[in-house]
A and B are shown apart, each in its own frame.
Chain A
Amino acid sequence: MDSCPCIKNFLLLDSEGNRVAVKYYSDEWPTNSAKEAFEKALFSKTQKTNARTEAEIAMFENHIIVYKFVQDLHFFVVGAEGENELILVTVLQGFFDAVGLLLRGNVDKKEALENLDLILLCLDEIVDGGVILETDANAIAGKVASHSVDATAPLSEQTISQALATAREHLARSLLNCMYVPVPWLADDDAMGSSG
């Protein structure tokens, strides 16, 4: 018996049920058409519910689904029937909030597609092959945005740290591209230090 909590898949769909980003960890859906059928059925089942203030939950084809909507984006996390619902919702919340941080609060389909790389990295940081890696939104967003892995320093003040992270990213990119000069206020950052 494998008693480790397990995530079967993440779905990020738009307001018409089309994929923005999805990630399957379970082989219960072997083909793309099986996946699409599942997404479609799930979308139409949950579409009318109001999952905007609190995460909602449903049983669907022997899975537990937790989901949350914002603007024209629908976030889903799917787990096994016997899974602890509160663990699933913690993962969902981590995903949801991390995307919020990464998109600087402008969470909609357009922003998500424009920053698809961030969304995909975000999924990569939350779950690895079905096993939960991290559920803290700050830590996830921190890892994705700043490319640093120093999770022990939580980004307590979200807005500032986030602006900082983005600025740092842009700055680092442009600096790395032209002249490879170490940035003084990034000197304590391992990642930057080694590349600079």
Chain B
Amino acid sequence: MGPFMSPFNNLLCMLLGISFTVWFTLLLVFIIVPAIFGLSFGIRSLYMKMLLKVFKWATVRMERGAKEKNHLLYKPYSLNGIIAKEPTSLEEELKEIRRNGSSQDLDGSASLTTGPSPSSSEFEMSDTFYFCRRGIESIVDDEVTKRFTAEELDSWNLLTRSNYNFNHISTRLTVLWGLGVVIRYGFLLPLRLTLAITGVSLLVVFTTMIGFLPNGRVKNFLSEKVHLMCYRICVRALTAIITYHHSENKPKNGGICVANHTSPIDIIILASDGCYAMVGQIHGGLMGLIQKSMVKACPHIWFERSEVKDRHLVAKRLSDHVKDKSKLPILIFPEGTCINNTSVMMFKKGSFEIGSTVYPVAIKYDPRFGDAFWNSSKFGMVNYLLRMMSSWAIVCSVWYLPPMSRQEGEDAVQFANRVKAAIARQGGLVDLLWDGGLKRGKVKDTFKEEQQKLYSKILVGTQEDRSRS
């Protein structure tokens, strides 16, 4: 110690102080201020283009490396899967089988049929072939299990979590990957964490402050601005590059906004472009704190855990909300759970029974930059957020679709399916009949009954035809 160290210490402190100041100023100027005003410098799109170039280079090198070593590059599942499934229905198949079988009688040889004419649809032992084949097909590759695992990619995005060809990496690629890790965990992650903390704390503080104002136009205006600003900061905290299409169809007051669900980030993405009333269960901890302060500034719909089971209560609160035209549109995810963004699963009909205008929104993530799907059975929330913040970026497109309402003679389920089909078509997702609840629950027996009904109609139905003719 002594006089020698002091100036050195001072110098160190000064340097640290300066770097912090510079750091925060940059943050403020380039990220927070634009977020407040909803502007953008275009840094993120530049970043995205650069990343794409790097990924392409990495994939090419990997393929070259594989060819040199004469190995087969493991190509992940294409959307078609491992087998070619023929989409013939039960009826078509059975007709075909019978047509082949009945030609035996036309020969006149070894006539085994004594009863009904050969062209009738009676039970044949070969009928089991159809069910057997479908069963084996589903063992080899089924639609549902695919939807609940993350989508597999054709090119590599320098994240080991999505690479199956790790052996083929040359030294150059390994260096690049290492650099990527350093950048992502050393630079991007701390930056994003800072932003996230800033965004969330600003949200809590400002909404609580606004809560003290009397209800009125000023309060609503300020609440809107505060919500948008904080969500925009959060968007930058994830480096989410979002393209909004058809903003003229944005949801209006008194309506319900319906979207497909891939991850909790969906909420941030939608709420940074418009103000919505959120619906959900009250949680404890940090989440609960955020929820409680949000509701001070503008009316969101939070339910206690006990109230969630009561469908009538839920429906009543939702419809009361939409009737009040001064309140914001409700944001709902009818799938009920996170799907991996290659398809849209069955929409629960609850939100479609309320009878107000529905504004469908399709969200499609670009998987090349980072997989946004939250596999809640594999990763917890914190783990998930960490992965999100250490990915390169989250790139997605949001399409606002024209509003739809329930038509005459249409019940809630049909309306829900119509909306679902529109969302699937716009987002380029597969429209599936299956229930998102299948992620965890068992198949209801009604599905098996449907198959049995269909088959019996073919058999027994034709008996009635014959008795008529």
User: Do A and B truly interact?
Assistant: no
